[in-house]
Structure 1
């Protein structure tokens, strides 16, 4: 009888377990995790309510019908880090580990194990003997990356010149290309017209 009484007293506690954390925003569950906001920081909880990624300020928000919040797509979540006043984008996995270093000038969420990103390549154009310095230019390319961050294809092979300076890049350059399907992409050309490209990955 004593055991039954103890079980009956404990049952409400077991049935109504809850996290003691208070959140400012709770996103819908997606890929078995939930983005939660506290102040200006975001973290993730699992389907049981346990915090799996502690609160941090480098998670990138995605616009959805339910609000703006960070989200995992194909087990990757966007992060951004400021280096010398310029934002660079990368990705973490569901342990919070950085799996793609922040090196892209912009990036999008993954879809079908691929994502669109803006890669920067440094070119040495020569040397200025008077100043004793190498002349360097940077070109920006819209690329398709895989889940490891490796570039699989260049969507604008010529690229565009970009000045890596915080005054020139106050916000990330836009990605104009679109993923239509697993192998089909829409690319905006120099005439501001869309062309469809098929790439067999």
Structure 2
């Protein structure tokens, strides 16, 4: 009878005893951004909340951002950059705080969101006709620097002229660089090769 009472007491005590979760053998823990911190284990990253619970499990497609505290994935405006490779070429998109893709990887390069907008390199595919000798369509690719909103739609063009690009992994070893940076609430700035500066105002 005494044993039964003791077991009952132990069972009743369990709800009041906190269960601990331990993450071991981590290589890096980032500062919190929007209440989520990135944790690295080998070549994969996950996100934890302020309680230390994993909210986005370890994965290999998260893109790191260089900060004064190191280089790691982060959330900005509820979005985190991801990278997907197709035929050896990198395409960039975004996930939301649940880990689901909010914008499919489709950009040749992309930056984090700021004030609800992100600078990305939007790829354009054009057909120049048919090569009769080969019996194939002649396809050209180019890209613009554009602004998108957190849901993906185009907000504005930053570059007036497109840049031609060859979609070949031997040519695109690294993603093309984004030349514009966010300067103020409505201004974006670009420094040219001759150190001439371009300012673009987006209303």
Match of 2:199 in 1: 196
Match of 1:82 in 2: 85
Match of 2:66 in 1: 63
Match of 1:175 in 2: 178
Match of 2:126 in 1: 123
How far apart, CA to CA, are the structure 2 residues paired with 1:106 and 1:190? 20
Q: How does 1:1-201 map to 2 (within 5 A)?
A: 14=18, 17-22=19-24, 23-188=26-191, 193-200=196-203
Per-residue displacement from partner, 1:38-68 (whole Å, max 9, x unpaired)? 1110000111111100000000001111111
Aligned residue for 1:79, secondary structure, equals strand
Q: How much has 1:69 moved relative to structure 2?
A: 0.7
Structure 1: 5+ residue stretches without partners? none
How far apart, CA to CA, are the structure 1 residues paired with 2:196 and 2:37? 39
Q: How much has 1:194 moved relative to structure 2?
A: 1.2
Q: How much has 1:142 moved relative to structure 2?
A: 0.6
Per-residue displacement from partner, 1:145-190 (whole Å, max 9, x unpaired)? 1101111111112211000000000000100111112211113457
Structure 1's consecutive aligned runs of 4 or more residues displaced over 2 angstroms after TM superposition are 187-192
Aligned residue for 2:173, secondary structure, equals coil
How far apart, CA to CA, are the structure 2 residues paired with 1:157 and 1:83? 28
Per-residue displacement from partner, 1:83-134 (whole Å, max 9, x unpaired)? 0100000000010000000000000011000010001100111111111111
Q: How much has 1:20 moved relative to structure 2?
A: 2.1
Is the CA contact 1:155–1:187 (under 8 Å) kept in the aligned structure 2? Answer: no
State the Cα RMSD in Å. Answer: 2.0
Structure 2: 5+ residue stretches without partners? 1-5
Q: 1:164 to 1:21 in 2, by over 3 A?
A: same
The alignment's TM-score, normalised by the length of structure 2, stands at 0.88
How far apart, CA to CA, are the structure 1 residues paired with 2:17 and 2:130? 73
Report the number of matched residues.
Answer: 193
Is the CA contact 1:100–1:149 (under 8 Å) kept in the aligned structure 2? Answer: yes
